[in-house]
Amino acid sequence: MYTILDIETTGGKYNEEGITEIAIHKFDGHKVIDKFISLVNPEREIQPFVANLTGINSKMLRTAPKFHEVAKRIVEITEDTVLVAHNAQFDYRILRTEFRRLGYNFERKTLCTVDLSKSLLPDAESYSLGKLVRSLGIPMSDRHRANGDAIATLKLFKLLLSRDTNKTIIKEVVREETHGELSQRQLDIVEQMPSETGLYYMHDKKGDILFLGKSTNIKKRVNQHFTKSGSKARQLQKETKTITFEKTGSELVALLKEREELLKNKPRYNHNIRKKRLQALYLSTNDDGYQTFVIAPQTNGKTNITTFNGIVSAKNFLLKITEEFQLCTKINDLEHHGPCEMEKKGQCLGGCRGLESPTAYNQRVNEAINKYSLAQKTMLIVDKGREIGEYSAIFIKDGVFQGLGYYDLNHQINNIHILESIITPMRGDSTATHIIDSYLRKKRIKKIIDLKH
């Protein structure tokens, strides 16, 4: 559990500043579940340059509560949470100073989004909150006011959690929070899981990931883990001290993130990832100049149109596009004797008997390739997001998977520089292409945006 914090102060000498405004958003890693926002009467003068910067002046604060009047609420909302702030050292010091004046020792674990951004966004030109969120296309209002800055920090933190494919943030928090045997809260863990699409992580007492999985119903899948029999399943149940999850909205995003994070984290109870021997669809040209599709095992270094888990699914797909684009079963080597099957149905245009020119026939072949192959395409696959108003974006550049991210405003994807900054880079190998190809053949997505104009 996190509390996203931002504080505005009077300015002045070190450790003599007072709080003028505070905003706290309690965040469970997925949504805000509580918030506290208030002006605070600092009982001291505000430095003129600070008043100009924030727009907060002494007149506004005359009737605001003093710190001792809001202290209890701050303690309650931040209890058992990790404080997250942009330049957390400053906000945490100010808060502790105010509590010390009341004779109370306020202690919380902290995470700094400046430090996290330097680690996870190493190419950013600036790590100041305003410039950083602007470069990421994150909307921001009320700059230098506590709630405006807190909301921007929250959105930045959500992006950083998504980009943290090594799960260093969650591992560190789990390691700090978990002690000894399961607590009552952890025993009720299944009830806390969402019945939604995403990834889940089974952690040991050190916070290390024991098992990582994806599901379209996380709650149901986690429940199956706890009810499964067998020695390996029982051992996993015994060692699991807590489970965290990450909603993805899109099943395709979950599949891609699962593979990326399995390769990076190598959880002990997941099977080792072995590269499958896939069947591929290749393009050839026969002696008469007609382009023909050929099914053969995938070969490294040889360009294919698309790939399949097995020969049966490859043949079924080839039959489907042959019919859809009025191609010829004989040219595609699906018929060896007798008349073409498509001719019997009255759908063949005569390519196998030379009644149609290779040029006209090959044009439809290229239409089929353009529809079903990622080769050379630069595009965004847009699908469901994690919440209403948000979308997931899977970025393909020149036929190669680049990574994925989330957006809620169209300008974030219309500007290529912002788009590339909100995308979490991932490995774009043949397996990732196979995952995307297979999914697009079987499932529906929101839309595809062509980025090559």
Structural domain boundaries in the chain: 2-163, 171-265, 279-369, 379-450
Rounded average pLDDT over 73-91? 93
Dihedral pair phi/psi, residue 41, rounded to 5°: -80, 110
Q: Which of these ranges, 282-296, 325-339, 364-378, 382-396, has the smallest mean pLDDT?
A: 325-339
| For residue 337, pLDDT beyond 70 | no
Question: What pLDDT does 223 receive?
Answer: 80
Half-sphere exposure of 250 (CA within 13 A, CB side): 26
Tell me the C-alpha distance between 92 and 96, whole Å. Answer: 6
Tell me the C-alpha distance between 219 and 161, whole Å. Answer: 21
| For residue 178, pLDDT beyond 60 | no
End-to-end, the C-alpha distance of the chain in Å comes to: 44
Tell me the C-alpha distance between 38 and 345, whole Å. Answer: 74
The pTM of the full predicted model, rounded to 2 decimals, is: 0.71
| For residue 415, pLDDT beyond 90 | no
Question: What pLDDT does 70 receive?
Answer: 95
Position 333 confidence tier, pLDDT thresholds 50, 70, 90: confident
| For residue 243, pLDDT beyond 50 | yes
Question: What pLDDT does 345 receive?
Answer: 66
Question: What pLDDT does 335 receive?
Answer: 64
Residue-wise pLDDT for 245-280, tens only, equals 999 999 999 999 999 999 999 999 998 777 778 999
CB 83 within 8 A of CB 153: no
| For residue 349, pLDDT beyond 80 | no
Q: Which of these ranges, 128-137, 150-159, 173-182, has the smallest mean pLDDT?
A: 173-182
Position 14 confidence tier, pLDDT thresholds 50, 70, 90: confident
Q: Which CATH number fits domain 171-265: 3.40.1440.10, 3.30.413.10, 3.40.50.720, 3.30.499.10?
A: 3.40.1440.10
Residue 85 DSSP one-character state: E
Q: Which of these ranges, 194-203, 256-265, 342-351, has the smallest mean pLDDT?
A: 342-351
For the chain, the average pLDDT equals 87
Position 180 confidence tier, pLDDT thresholds 50, 70, 90: very low
Q: What is the 3-class SS of 394-435, one letter each residue?
A: EEEECCEEEEEEEECCCHHHHCHHHHHHHCEECCCCHHHHHH
Residue-wise pLDDT for 44-75, tens only, equals 889 888 888 888 888 889 899 999 999 999 99
CB 186 within 8 A of CB 39: no
Tell me the C-alpha distance between 373 and 441, whole Å. Answer: 10
Question: What pLDDT does 179 receive?
Answer: 45
Position 323 confidence tier, pLDDT thresholds 50, 70, 90: confident
Question: What pLDDT does 186 receive?
Answer: 44
Residue-wise pLDDT for 303-318, tens only, equals 899 999 999 999 999 9
Rounded average pLDDT over 416-441? 90
Rounded average pLDDT over 79-103? 91
Tell me the C-alpha distance between 233 and 241, whole Å. Answer: 14
Question: What pLDDT does 183 receive?
Answer: 42
Tell me the C-alpha distance between 213 and 200, whole Å. Answer: 6
Q: Which CATH number fits domain 2-163: 3.30.420.10, 3.20.20.70, 3.90.1150.10, 3.40.50.1580?
A: 3.30.420.10
Half-sphere exposure of 428 (CA within 13 A, CB side): 15
